[in-house]
């Protein structure tokens, strides 16, 4: 089956009020776990690759892994560049056949963000590739605690509904990542902070009223940081402090309110780490990578099945 365009996936997701999981991949075990999980659950899928993932694995290895996964599965799969930071990187991925790219110029002033995004859109659309852009700054912990520069930013810059309308109209981007209290990593909130659902609804409403229809919104930083994974990691020698993610109920509410794509990376990392740590702790003599990567892969698969079935609601929708 060839790669799928996100335009088709989003249109069906918005209609059905479910979200497509966009899972980050860096290696073979992640690709296999995610694709097998979605295949078994009959869930449409977006595999996403960051700049860091391309540097780590080398683009050709990820491309071939995904080709292999696509050739042995029947579900629709789109391949997306996560957080592209330049026109050049987006162009490279479009030329390689990605069906979707993200240009993240959200840290530029509004007009500059528009200019860079529009340039990517013009090139991408000529090559049948969709473009996700971002408006607003994600709030919260942008780095793991203890990392240089780590800390909680309370200020951030939430997406403004009217600016969102202007941005989409001026750039022609196909989907928009919004900042509504979400953030990357395992330390998202201190206390009981949640997503700003009223703002999400206001953004959606403004887009509809501006004639942009049921426009697809994207939620980055959507890992839930399951406590049982954090506990398992800590039980087997890890040291994750007060890790906290977006409650699953918030993700459900978000997809019922127009979020068509939900980005998940941290939870995959946690599942993988928990699997590996358990093997090392229970069998310190083990040194065959298959013996610890295998269980880690199984844990990622279990997590993805849970996400698509119980949180994103996209299980069973592969052939809508």
Catalytic amino acids? 82
Residue count (the chain): 320
Residue with tokens 């292999």: 68
Distance CA 148, CA 111 (A): 30
Out of 53, 103, 262, 311, name the contact with ligand G3H by CB under 6 A: 53
Parallel, antiparallel or unpaired: strands 20-24 and 259-264: parallel
Least Å from the CB of residue 267 to ligand 13P: 6
Out of 265, 276, 279, 300, name the contact with ligand 13P by CB under 6 A: 265
Site for ligand 13P in 83-102 (CB under 6 A): 83
Least Å from the CB of residue 184 to ligand G3H: 5
Q: Point out which span in 1-9, 188-196, 214-222, 251-259 binds Zn ion (CB under 5 A).
A: 214-222
24 binding ligand 13P? (CB under 6 A):
yes
Look at residues 185, 173, 162 and name the one whose alpha carbon lies nearest to residue 134. Answer: 173
Report the sign of the C-alpha dihedral through residues 127, 130, 136, 138, in that order.
Answer: negative
Q: Point out which span in 50-58, 200-208, 249-257, 274-282 binds ligand G3H (CB under 6 A).
A: 50-58
Distance CA 45, CA 316 (A): 12
Nearer to ligand G3H, 33 or 315 (CB): 33
Using CB atoms within 10 A of its CB, is residue 182 exposed (0-12), middle (13-18) or buried (19+)? Answer: buried
Out of 36, 41, 82, 252, name the contact with ligand 13P by CB under 6 A: 82
Q: Point out which span in 60-68, 163-171, 219-227, 282-290 binds ligand 13P (CB under 6 A).
A: 219-227
* Contact partner at residue 136 from Zn ion, ligand G3H, ligand 13P, none, CB < 5 to 8 Å by partner kind: none
Least Å from the CB of residue 223 to ligand G3H: 9
Give the single-character DSSP code of 221. Answer: S
Nearer to ligand G3H, 303 or 315 (CB): 303
Site for ligand G3H in 254-283 (CB under 6 A): 265
Q: Please answer whether residues 157 and 137 qualify as being in contact, where contact means their C-beta atoms are separated by less than 8 angstroms.
A: yes
Site for ligand G3H in 198-237 (CB under 6 A): none
Distance CA 79, CA 46 (A): 6
266 binding ligand 13P? (CB under 6 A):
yes
Nearer to ligand 13P, 18 or 189 (CB): 189
Nearer to ligand 13P, 102 or 114 (CB): 102
Out of 76, 161, 185, 216, name the contact with ligand 13P by CB under 6 A: 185
Tokens of 160: 């403004």
Residue with tokens 């990691």: 233
Backbone angles phi, psi at 133, to 5 degrees: -130, 175
220 binding Zn ion? (CB under 5 A):
yes
Binding-site size, ligand 13P (CB under 6 A): 14
Q: Please answer whether residues 293 and 300 qualify as being in contact, where contact means their C-beta atoms are separated by less than 8 angstroms.
A: no
Backbone angles phi, psi at 214, to 5 degrees: -80, 80
Backbone angles phi, psi at 50, to 5 degrees: -90, 170
Q: Following CA atoms 103, 216, 185, 315 in sequence, which dihedral angle do they give, to the nearest 10 degrees? A: -130
Least Å from the CB of residue 164 to ligand G3H: 20
223 binding ligand 13P? (CB under 6 A):
yes
Least Å from the CB of residue 2 to ligand G3H: 26
Residues that bind ligand 13P (CB under 6 A): 24, 82-83, 184-185, 220-223, 263-267
């Amino acid at each position: 089956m060839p790669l799928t365009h996100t335009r088709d996936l989003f249109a069906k997701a918005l209609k059905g009020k479910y979200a497509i999981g966009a899972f980050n991949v860096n290696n073979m075990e992640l690709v296999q776990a995610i694709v097998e999980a979605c295949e078994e659950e009959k869930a449409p899928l977006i595999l996403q690759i960051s700049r860091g993932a391309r540097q780590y694995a080398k683009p050709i290895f990820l491309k071939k892994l995904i080709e292999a996964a696509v050739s042995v599965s029947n579900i629709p799969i789109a391949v997306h560049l996560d957080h592209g930071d330049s026109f050049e990187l987006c162009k490279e991925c479009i030329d390689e056949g990605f069906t979707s790219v993200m240009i993240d110029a959200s840290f530029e002033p509004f007009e500059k963000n528009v200019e860079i995004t529009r340039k990517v859109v013009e090139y991408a659309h000529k090559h049948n590739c969709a473009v996700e852009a971002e408006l607003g700054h994600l709030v919260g912990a942008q780095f793991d605690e203890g990392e240089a520069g780590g800390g909680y930013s309370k200020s951030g810059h939430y997406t403004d509904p009217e600016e969102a309308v202007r941005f989409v109209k001026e750039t022609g981007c196909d989907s928009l990542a919004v900042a509504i209290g979400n953030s990357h990593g395992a330390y998202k909130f201190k206390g009981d902070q949640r997503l700003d659902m009223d703002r999400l609804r206001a953004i959606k409403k403004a887009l509809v009223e501006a004639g942009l229809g049921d426009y697809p919104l994207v939620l980055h930083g959507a890992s839930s940081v399951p406590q049982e994974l954090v506990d398992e990691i800590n039980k087997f020698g890890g040291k994750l402090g007060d890790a906290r993610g977006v409650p699953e109920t918030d993700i459900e509410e978000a997809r019922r309110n127009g979020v068509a794509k939900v980005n998940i990376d941290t939870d995959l990392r946690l599942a993988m780490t928990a699997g590996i740590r358990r093997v090392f702790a229970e069998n310190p003599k083990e040194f065959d990578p298959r013996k610890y990567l295998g269980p880690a892969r199984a844990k990622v698969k279990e997590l993805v099945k849970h996400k698509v079935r119980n949180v994103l609601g996209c299980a069973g929708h592969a052939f809508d």
